[in-house]
Amino acid sequence: MQKIFNIDWNDHYDFDSLENQAEIKKIESYEPAKDPDAYATGGGDVIPSPWGENQSLDAGTYDDDFEYKIDPSDVINPQELKKINPHPKEFCEKRLVVNPGNMLSLQRHKARQEYWAVRSGILTVILDGQEYEVEPGQAIFIPQGGVHCMNNIGDEPVEVIELQTGITREKDNVRLIDFSNRPTYPLTSENEFASAKLYANLQNRIAHKFGTQNFAHSSFLPE
């Protein structure tokens, strides 16, 4: 199976792991448009996560003539708005809290784009091989397919309101590197590899600051 993927980007990856093999098959067979498990209108319960908590606040479908726009002044990366999907089918608004010294997985999505508005704390974001600091009152746009993750290297919880638009499904996560050592999908591009290097660097910074275990593989870091 590893012959399909570039080993230069995946020296860290255990292709013999049955869990990883199952994850590869699951990701490659998943079609968001055929997934019936849409988010419920009106939101749901607070769900604890290894990195904090998240809660769906509301969800629904757009009218056929709806056009999605973001004012360039609303985001710190307006150059990414050229990649926006102006006619998404659905939306889901979520509230997320990322605890100090925690990271979400490095991931991408097949069928949705996201808008993250920070309410409190400072959110460190990896997006397509770049690192951003998003402060309270600021927001960042995550284009569909963009390689991204949320990180909190500060001392206070970070609260984020996330608006997903497109085809919004919980299972539409292609997890590439994971802080909690969950099964992942191999890296498939230079962009993903560059983002993985940033992820490993942030893991090391968190490990040094908070005294937590460093999960980063040395292949991502400069010698």
Reference 152, options 74, 54, 52, 46; nearest CA is 52
**Residues 8-54: tens digit of each pLDDT:** 999 999 999 999 999 999 999 999 999 999 999 999 999 999 999 99
- Return the DSSP state at 169: B
Percent of the chain residues past pLDDT 90, beyond the cut: 90
Sole residue written with tokens 């012959």: 3
Cα–Cα distances in Å, from 98 out to 44, 80, 155? 18, 24, 11
**Residues 107-152: tens digit of each pLDDT:** 999 999 999 999 999 999 999 999 999 999 999 999 999 999 999 9
User: Which residue ranges form the domains of the chain, and what is each CATH number?
Assistant: 2-212 (2.60.120.10)
The tokens describing 171, both together, are: 């299972």
